[in-house]
């Protein structure tokens, strides 16, 4: 992957310092208006992707592009690499690794959203996302080090291919505005579904989570920060992870560039079940002493 300009040039450019200054102002505004917290968070993730793009991606392989793209939109990464003809010659191993890296980026982004938009939530609320993140990290190590021909094919791997959603700019404010508006729109849609259509919060969350898990999570956390007493966060977290599992599995099954479809779907389902089991065991460990005494 080639950069349009070296990183040292950006530090000499007023554009980078202007973006950082605006970001600092947004954090100050968010301290007084909590509903705006999502805006500087998204901008921070944009800035993180920019520095990662420069510091890591130049010497990286195709899957690291999937990780960086996953911070922007894991769904967009899936749709592009699984159906775009230019990736049809990419090996099964690289496709699987790129998909898993994109999911890991989405889960890491979810953890950052929970941390930034909540105030001292207990560790157990982070556990479902951490469990899936560790699960996929192990899967990445397994696929990377596997000598089995299962993940290889006769195609030539083109390591020069780029994922189109990456961009060589500090903060793309158009993307920040678009995703922020989307999250606020999701909050309004969920209110409409609940009040006008009579559907529960869980059903409306599941429907929206099919499209972008971190966006619906941000909207749930924003709403929870305003009326926490009316929202069961843990239940909604697992509904979001369920929706993400269903949507990513569907995209994999409909893919034209992937043959190891059921292997990937199995990983998604196993990670969800594992996160549920680990969280349930942790809950019992916390609850049982109080029940006994």
* pLDDT at res. 16: 82
pTM for the model stands at: 0.79
Q: What is the mean pLDDT of residues 193-211?
A: 78
27, two tokens: 């954090």
What is the reported pLDDT for 19? 85
Q: What is the pLDDT of residue 34?
A: 65
DSSP 255-277: -SS-S-HHHHHHHHHHHHHHHHH
204 neighbors 189 (Cβ within 8 angstroms): yes
Are the beta carbons of 69 and 75 closer than 8 angstroms?
no
Among 55-59, 62-66, 160-164, name the most confident range.
62-66
pLDDT digits (tens, 9 = 90+) for 135-159: 999 999 999 887 665 666 644 444 4
Measured in degrees and rounded to the nearest 5, phi and psi for residue 186 equal: -60, -40
CA neighbor of 1 nearest in space, from 171, 165, 144: 165
In the predicted model, is pLDDT for residue 100 greater than 80? Answer: yes
- pLDDT of 1 strictly over 70: no
97-111, 157-171, 194-208: which range is least confident on average? 157-171
Best CA proximity match to 64, nearest among 179, 172, 159: 159
Q: Name the residue with higher pLDDT: 226 or 208.
A: 208
Q: What percent of the chain has pLDDT over 70?
A: 78
What is the pLDDT, as a whole number, of residue 293? 47
Mean pLDDT value of segment 270-289: 89
Maximum C-alpha span of the chain: 64
pLDDT at position 201 over 70: yes
Whole-angstrom CA distances from 274 to 33, 136, 178, 246 are: 37, 11, 34, 16
Rg over alpha carbons for the chain, rounded to the nearest Å, is 20
Q: Computed from CA positions of residues 61, 64, 70, 73, in that sequence, does the dihedral angle turn out positive or negative?
A: negative
The C-alpha atoms of residue 273 and residue 22 are separated, in whole angstroms, by 42
CA distance 129 to 110: 7
- Indicate the pLDDT class of residue 61, thresholds 50, 70 and 90: low
- Contact between residue 113 and residue 218 where contact means Cβ atoms under 8 Å apart: yes
For residue 155, what pLDDT is reported? 47
- What's the confidence (pLDDT) of residue 126? 96
Per-residue pLDDT tens over the stretch 123-134: 999 999 999 999
């Amino acid at each position: 992957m080639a950069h349009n300009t070296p990183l040292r040039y950006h530090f000499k450019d007023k554009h980078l310092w202007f973006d950082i200054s605006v970001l600092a102002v947004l954090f100050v505004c968010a301290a007084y208006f909590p509903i705006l917290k999502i805006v500087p968070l998204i901008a921070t993730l944009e800035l993180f992707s920019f520095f990662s793009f420069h510091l890591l991606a130049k010497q990286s392989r195709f899957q690291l592009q999937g990780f960086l793209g996953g911070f922007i939109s894991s769904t967009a990464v899936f749709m592009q690499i699984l159906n775009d003809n230019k990736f049809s010659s990419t090996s099964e191993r690289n496709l699987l690794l790129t998909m898993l890296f994109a999911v890991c980026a989405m889960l890491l982004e979810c953890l950052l959203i929970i941390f930034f938009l909540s105030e001292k939530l207990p560790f157990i609320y982070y556990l479902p996302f951490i469990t899936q993140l560790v699960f996929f990290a192990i899967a990445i190590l397994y696929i990377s080090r596997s000598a089995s021909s299962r993940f290889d094919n006769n195609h030539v791997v083109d390591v020069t291919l780029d994922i189109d959603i990456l961009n060589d700019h500090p903060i793309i404010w158009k993307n920040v505005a678009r995703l922020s508006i989307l999250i606020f729109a999701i909050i309004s849609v969920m209110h409409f579904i609940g009040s006008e259509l009579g559907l529960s919060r869980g059903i409306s969350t599941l429907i929206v989570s099919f499209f972008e898990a971190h966006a619906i999570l941000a909207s749930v956390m924003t709403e929870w920060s305003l009326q926490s007493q009316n929202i069961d966060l843990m239940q909604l977290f697992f509904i979001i992870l369920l929706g993400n599992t269903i949507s990513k599995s569907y995209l994999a099954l409909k893919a034209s560039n992937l043959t190891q479809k059921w292997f990937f779907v199995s990983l998604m389902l196993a990670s969800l079940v594992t996160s549920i089991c680990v969280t349930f065991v942790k809950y019992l460990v916390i609850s049982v002493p109080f029940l006994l005494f």
